[in-house]
Chains A and B, each alone.
Chain A
Amino acid sequence: MSAPAKPTCFQELILTLQDYWAGQGCLILQPFDMEMGAGTFHTATTLRALGPNPWRAAYVQPCRRPSDGRYGENPNRLQHYYQFQAILKPSPPDILERYLGSLDAIGIDTGLHDIRFVEDDWESPTLGAWGLGWEVWCDGMEITQFTYFQQVGGIEVELVAGEITYGLERLAMYLFDKKTVYELPYNRADSEVPLTYGDVFLQNEQEQSAYNFEHADTEMLFRHFADAEKECGRLVEKKLPLPAYEQCIKASHTFNLLDARGVISVTERQSFILRVRELAKACCEAWLMTQKEAA
């Protein structure tokens, strides 16, 4: 039997990773249907990293970082991009070997490339989370973030989850040797309708950058932030951590939008981050309670 074909386009990269991690016992989940800054915000990571229950999942998550928008003019900075995330809890002893298997699957031959694990400690101030791990380099380029979660929502984890995050566009640019993200083949070159990443997303980058930097109604956003914050607190009290957490995600993204509009001063910034962290903490605590009650 011949080895499975290596991906040649963006969507095959995703399909290959999904296939690989499904083979490692991961549920293949779908993106969380709200705007978030990183795949870590998905309940499949943030909340599932807590509590005594084992968990394995992999999914693509669209990430929104309003201030990273460049109107489609920068080769690799985007306000909307994709992460592929695998989370294995508890981390199995051979998790690094499994990760290296995924590189082989997507066509990175370790007999030809230089793979390095370079110290990188991860911290999310808004989620009250931190972990230790590495950025993984391939020939000097960071292709993955690898983190062993130690704390989430200010709570020390019971089982340590290994979190593997691939920045898909950057990885694809490397694999398919493209100078800009917009030139990436989205589907196969021999498809009936071959399209590039730019065909799909360039207009989105242009319009969303304009929205993020120029047109977002800041008064409304401040209101939305306050509403989400209030709603989150109310739902935590009702012992509904999942809906409460969605309000936390909403508050976090709203803060990011306000930040991109440049209407939050340096001192205010810190207090906004703390407010989101308080929400995340409350949701995590409430979630943990429901997990313990169920057990």
Chain B
Amino acid sequence: MAELLLELLSEEIPARMQTRASDDLKRLVGDGLKAAGLSFTDARTFATPRRLALVVEGLPAAREDVSEERRGPRVGALDQAVQGFLKGAGLSSLDQAEKRDTGKGEFWFAVVTKKGGPTADALPAIIDAAMKALPWPKSMKWGSGTMLWVRPLQSIVALFDGKALAGEVAPGGAMKPIAFGDTTRGHRFLSKGDFKVADFADYAAKLRAAHVVLDPAERKKIILAGAQELAADAQVALKADEGLLDEVAGLVEWPVPLIGTIDAQFMDVPPEVLILSMKTHQRYFATTKTDGTLANRFIVVANNAARDGGKVIADGNERVLRARLSDAKFFWDQDRKTTLESRLPALKGIVFHAKLGTQAERVDRIVKLAGEIAKFVPGADLRQVEQAARLAKADLVTGMVGEFPELQGIMGRYYALGEKLPAAVADAIGDHYAPAGPNDRCPDAPVSIAVALADKLDVLTSFWAIGEKPTGSRDPFALRRAALGIIRIVVENRIRLPLGAFFKAVDLMDFFADRLKVQVREKGGRHDVVDAVFAAGGSAGGRSTGGGEDDLIRLLARVDALQAFLGTEAGKNLLTAYGRAANIVRAEEKKDKGLAVKIAGTSDVALLEQAEEKAVVVALAEVERALKPALAAEDFAGAMAAFAGLHAPIDAYFEKVTVNVTDRPDLRLNRLKLLNQIRATMDQVADFSKIEG
């Protein structure tokens, strides 16, 4: 068993591309090995800013010849098919193939033998193919070459069983080929010259000696441990940021965390601004004090062990941060000279979407919507809701949000607080974009809830109205997120909002139902039960769209009750009984298009001949009596319990009563009416036909 070591050394690879590239390299080489019939026990890849490395263990030293049988076209098939078969099998004529009867006719067969031989002979082509297929998000050519790579490729280590493979990569043009070899380089500044490597263990050890930590996971550990130690020495705590840690680990081969100080003059700028500026512009980690607030120290990770222990580097970074934060402080000071209210006219100059007008027009819509929604949000002060909605987008025209778009809302809140606007208004401005995702905080204050709902409902209905609906994976305006946001706000705060009153489009309610189903399913619920409840008639609140349920709280309560009921013996029996009744009615409706009208309403008591029929009518009346108040009180468990007594009479009915009595059309119609009545009664709670047995 032998080892393959591959290292592709290049100029600096963007941090965000390294993980994906090393995964791709492993997959592509692995696939190539498998396709060549080469098995292996393990493959691992590593990435640094300058290199992708792959080690494959447990490869055989040589391969056996492999014979493979291929079936070709039917004997007598078109020449084109035959030629294709010959070419694919590497044959020159049909004389080299054989006819065989497969039982489904005579077919041509070929036996293709793949020559075996030393593994080292097969590897260069596999490496070459993997490099050509590696999908960099953006690639370039360099020098006079034509080869595409993420940045100029400099050298390749390709060792099998300790020996350099014979092979090269030609960048093209007048450029020298890059030969496979056993030589690489260490850290750009902390190591001089080339060195030879013998195998992976030797490679990793020599790299470390040359100030390169090959494994990104180890670099992350070093950064984290070093940063935590520096922070602890300064009596602050490192503010965790996994995304930043990943990025920084991709920017350094030899991580050296250093600590610096934020100039005191900037500490009254909102912490979100400082953290974001340090992170996005400088890739610094923030630190916090024991009370959780932002501390005046930051951690920078250098890619160099400087002679002076990093003093010059730390000083330099502090200076750069001063310049950066001066900009931020400038915006903070400037922005506060203008009230949010007086910024509103400027929103007329910002196009929200070509077909949906300006931000000012959007604000008008949100104000109106928020006012209507506020009626359904207990404790929401209408004046505050309208004020917050009107000012919610004003920070888009501040200098700070111009510089840091991610701070939209957050800055509006600070500026509102600075103007001494009510805290509820400021918070609503700050919260109205939330929740941005399943893990984001959900607004819970009444004013915030109204504005956040209005913001999302406007996005949904507006884009829906211009036909910009999400399709498949395409959802450029994040409408799914908006719908999920509405669901979360409504459900988590138990807001009784008749959604149908705000939608014009029927398919928008279906879109909601789909999002809700996903949510219910994720929590272990049954999506068919959601369907059944959504389809049920009767909305107590506003104008319902398809006659379906549009109050999410009531809907979920029904889902819970129905799901619990269906788990009981009585529920299962009733579902069976319902199925029989519905099937018969449906079958008859198919034969007679006009039947539905004829069997609407209640059955005629005078035509009830058998005791079992009368029993069902009595049972239904009882259900109705219990159901009405239970539904009105939204006691869905109670409503379900009312059904419990229904299945026995129905079962007896089906046992004794013939519905389709051929000689008595009046009797038949009345009996169908009764079955339909069963269906209608039960459909008040949920459309049981949607329940999957």
A pairs with B: yes
Residues of A participating in the B interface, judged by any CB pair closer than 8 Å: 75-76, 90-93, 96, 100, 110-119, 121, 131-132, 134, 138-141, 148, 150, 159-160, 162, 174, 266
B102 in the interface (beta carbon within 8 A) = no
B317 in the interface (beta carbon within 8 A) = yes
**Residue in B closest to A76 when the chains form the complex, CB atoms:** B323
B contact residues around A174 at 8 Å (CB): 316, 319
Given contacts A100-B188, A111-B306, A112-B313, 10 further A-B contacts (CB under 8 A): A112-B307, A117-B11, A117-B49, A119-B12, A119-B15, A132-B140, A139-B316, A139-B319, A148-B152, A150-B141
B425 in the interface (beta carbon within 8 A) = no
A91 touches B143 (CB 8 A): yes
A-B CB contact pairs (8 Å), 11 listed:
A75-B323, A90-B143, A112-B312, A112-B313, A117-B49, A131-B140, A139-B313, A141-B316, A150-B141, A160-B144, A266-B351
* Alpha-carbon distance between A175 and B146 when the two chains are bound, in angstroms: 39
B contact residues around A90 at 8 Å (CB): 142-144, 173-174
A134 touches B321 (CB 8 A): no
B143 touches A113 (CB 8 A): no
Q: How far is the CB of A121 from chain B (nearest CB, A)?
A: 7
B contact residues around A114 at 8 Å (CB): 302-304, 306, 313, 316
B14 touches A139 (CB 8 A): no
B142 touches A91 (CB 8 A): yes
B contact residues around A162 at 8 Å (CB): 142
Residue in contact with A110 in the complex, picked from B11, B154, B189, B319, CB distance below 8 Å: B189
Which of B152, B300, B308, B351 has the most CB atoms of chain A within a 10 A radius of its CB? B152
- 0/1 interface trace, chain B 137-154, chain A, CB 8 Å (1 if under): 011111111000001101
A contact residues around B300 at 8 Å (CB): 140
Which of A119, A121, A131 has the most CB atoms of chain B within a 10 A radius of its CB? A119
The 10 closest A-B pairs by CB, nearest first: A139-B316, A119-B14, A117-B12, A114-B302, A140-B317, A140-B320, A90-B143, A132-B140, A141-B320, A90-B144
- Known interface pairs A92-B143, A139-B312; A113-B306 also in contact (CB < 8 Å): yes
A contact residues around B188 at 8 Å (CB): 100, 115
A160 touches B141 (CB 8 A): yes
B368 in the interface (beta carbon within 8 A) = no
* Alpha-carbon distance between A21 and B667 when the two chains are bound, in angstroms: 105
* Alpha-carbon distance between A113 and B12 when the two chains are bound, in angstroms: 18
B contact residues around A93 at 8 Å (CB): 143, 152, 154, 175
Residue in contact with B140 in the complex, picked from A115, A117, A139, A160, CB distance below 8 Å: A160
A contact residues around B144 at 8 Å (CB): 90, 159-160
A contact residues around B251 at 8 Å (CB): 116, 118
**Residue in A closest to B316 when the chains form the complex, CB atoms:** A139
- Known interface pairs A90-B173, A116-B303; A132-B151 also in contact (CB < 8 Å): yes
**Residue in A closest to B312 when the chains form the complex, CB atoms:** A112
**Residue in B closest to A77 when the chains form the complex, CB atoms:** B327
B contact residues around A110 at 8 Å (CB): 189, 304
B16 in the interface (beta carbon within 8 A) = yes
A140 touches B312 (CB 8 A): no
- 0/1 interface trace, chain B 275-298, chain A, CB 8 Å (1 if under): 000000010100000000000000
Q: Give chain B interface residues in 112-153, CB to chain A under 8 Å.
A: 138-145, 151-152
B316 touches A113 (CB 8 A): yes
**Residue in A closest to B141 when the chains form the complex, CB atoms:** A160
* Alpha-carbon distance between A68 and B145 when the two chains are bound, in angstroms: 38
A contact residues around B145 at 8 Å (CB): 160
A150 touches B313 (CB 8 A): no
B contact residues around A138 at 8 Å (CB): 316
**Residue in B closest to A120 when the chains form the complex, CB atoms:** B14
Q: How far is the CB of B604 from chain A (nearest CB, A)?
A: 71
A134 touches B140 (CB 8 A): no
Residue in contact with B307 in the complex, picked from A75, A111, A119, A150, CB distance below 8 Å: A111
**Residue in A closest to B301 when the chains form the complex, CB atoms:** A114
Q: Give chain B interface residues in 405-441, CB to chain A under 8 Å.
A: none
- 0/1 interface trace, chain B 624-638, chain A, CB 8 Å (1 if under): 000000000000000
* Alpha-carbon distance between A116 and B317 when the two chains are bound, in angstroms: 13
- Known interface pairs A91-B143, A121-B138, A160-B143; A139-B351 also in contact (CB < 8 Å): no
B140 touches A159 (CB 8 A): no
Q: How far is the CB of A221 from chain B (nearest CB, A)?
A: 22
- Known interface pairs A113-B313, A140-B320; A148-B303 also in contact (CB < 8 Å): no
B contact residues around A91 at 8 Å (CB): 142-143, 152
Q: How far is the CB of A45 from chain B (nearest CB, A)?
A: 17
**Residue in A closest to B324 when the chains form the complex, CB atoms:** A140
* Alpha-carbon distance between A112 and B190 when the two chains are bound, in angstroms: 11
B12 touches A140 (CB 8 A): no
A contact residues around B349 at 8 Å (CB): 266
A contact residues around B304 at 8 Å (CB): 110, 113-115
* Alpha-carbon distance between A174 and B175 when the two chains are bound, in angstroms: 37
* Alpha-carbon distance between A131 and B302 when the two chains are bound, in angstroms: 27
A148 touches B16 (CB 8 A): no
B49 touches A140 (CB 8 A): no
B140 touches A148 (CB 8 A): yes
B contact residues around A160 at 8 Å (CB): 140-145
A contact residues around B14 at 8 Å (CB): 119
B15 touches A140 (CB 8 A): no
Q: How far is the CB of B94 from chain A (nearest CB, A)?
A: 46
A contact residues around B174 at 8 Å (CB): 90
B323 touches A111 (CB 8 A): no
* Alpha-carbon distance between A20 and B686 when the two chains are bound, in angstroms: 82
Q: How far is the CB of A167 from chain B (nearest CB, A)?
A: 13
Residue in contact with B306 in the complex, picked from A112, A117, A121, A148, CB distance below 8 Å: A112
